[in-house]
Amino acid sequence: MRTPIHAHRLFTFFAFSLLFFLGPITSANGQGVGVDWFDGSDPSVVNSDITGDEDADEQTSSLPRDDPGGAVASVTSITYTYERVCLQGVGSFLDRGDCVRIDAACDSEPDGVMVEWIAIDSSTTPPTETPTGDTSCLYPGSPAPEPPNGGEAAEPAVVITLEDFQSQPIIAASVISEPNNFGLLGGHNNFWAEADEQEFTFETLGDQVTIRAWPVAYDWNYGDGTTRTTQTAGNAVPESDWLLVETPTSHVYGATGDYNVVLTTRFNGDYSVNGGPWIPIAGQAAVESEPHFISVWRSDNRLVDGTCAENPSAWGCK
């Protein structure tokens, strides 16, 4: 049997009272009729809706919300941890674009991460972990979010901070260009990065900690004053397309010369203590690659006839 109220912390999103607030055009009853599937795009509007809906929810809800254990588990055996909604490449069900959009909903501070609460029932061996479907936002440098319904947060034996994460020896991406270290003025000089997911395991005070880092964004500095951030590492193109085909990471130089391309790869990180759940670290580690040298040449095409032996003063003969 399903519970009468499905009590998730979801928020209203309809703007059927829009006209009432906007004023000038009103229907007979003074209320808008528009059917809007979404509420205002302004997050403050969304937030003001949250309170109202939450209150109403609590009044009408006939069961405790998110009671993870039901009648079997005692209340005290449930604690909550959280995991990323978006793993961006680590065993992920989400593509990177979706991850960016989902994390973008956490916009009250920079670099927000949307997390989902996981209920840990430690009355079983091993403890069972069940997602609640309930989300929160995690922000670098801010206190961890509070578990739903006044629940108790699971305290890992070791807490890994952003600084701890950033001090890991994360291996920088390699930068590759086609053709190798050589470019043409006006051509689509293709660069791409090779960066791997990495894990670091160490013991601290008898607890085993594993940190995993994976690349999520690439800040390209092409050495001519042009910078660009991509979510893709880029990729190789067939040799027949070299310099001819634009890629998301290729660059056209406006002047000949020697350039150093500097790539900074940004990694997200999670950690796990003694084999427990992966706990997200808010914020990123930026790792700079070795400068990648490229010499950009001018190409000149002429129609020529005969050999230089026949005509030593012809174009291209010396």
Partner 1 sequence: MNIPVPEKPALADENTVEGLEAFTEWWFELGNYAVITGNSAPWIAETDPGCKNCSALVDSVNRSHADGGWVVGGSVTVETFDSKFRETTQGSVASFVTMSQDASAYYSSEGNLIEELPAREEQVVRQTFAEHNGERWIMLDFGSPNTGS
Chain residues binding partner 1 by CB under 8 A are: 2-16, 18-19, 25, 27, 31-39, 41, 43, 46-47, 50, 53, 56-57, 66-68, 85, 93-95, 97-98, 101-102, 104-108, 112, 114, 116, 119, 130-139, 142-143, 145-146
62 vs 180, beta carbon nearer partner 1: 62
> What are the tokens at 85?
């909604």
In angstroms, the CA 126 to CA 308 distance is 82
In angstroms, the CA 75 to CA 69 distance is 7
13 vs 315, beta carbon nearer partner 1: 13
Beta strand 182-184 with 292-297 is: parallel
> Minimum distance from CB of 95 to partner 1 (Å)?
7
Neighbours of 112 (CB within 10 A): 18
Burial of 119 (0-12, 13-18, 19+ CB in 10 A): buried
> Minimum distance from CB of 298 to partner 1 (Å)?
42
> Minimum distance from CB of 214 to partner 1 (Å)?
17
Whether the ω angle into residue 179 lies within 30 degrees of 0, i.e. cis, is yes
46 vs 262, beta carbon nearer partner 1: 46
95 vs 258, beta carbon nearer partner 1: 95
113 vs 175, beta carbon nearer partner 1: 113
Q: Name the amino acid, one letter, at 291.
A: P
> Minimum distance from CB of 117 to partner 1 (Å)?
9
**If you count them, how many residues does the chain have?**
318
In angstroms, the CA 288 to CA 303 distance is 45
> Minimum distance from CB of 105 to partner 1 (Å)?
5
> Minimum distance from CB of 277 to partner 1 (Å)?
13
In angstroms, the CA 151 to CA 146 distance is 8
139 vs 218, beta carbon nearer partner 1: 139
> What are the tokens at 121?
């029932």
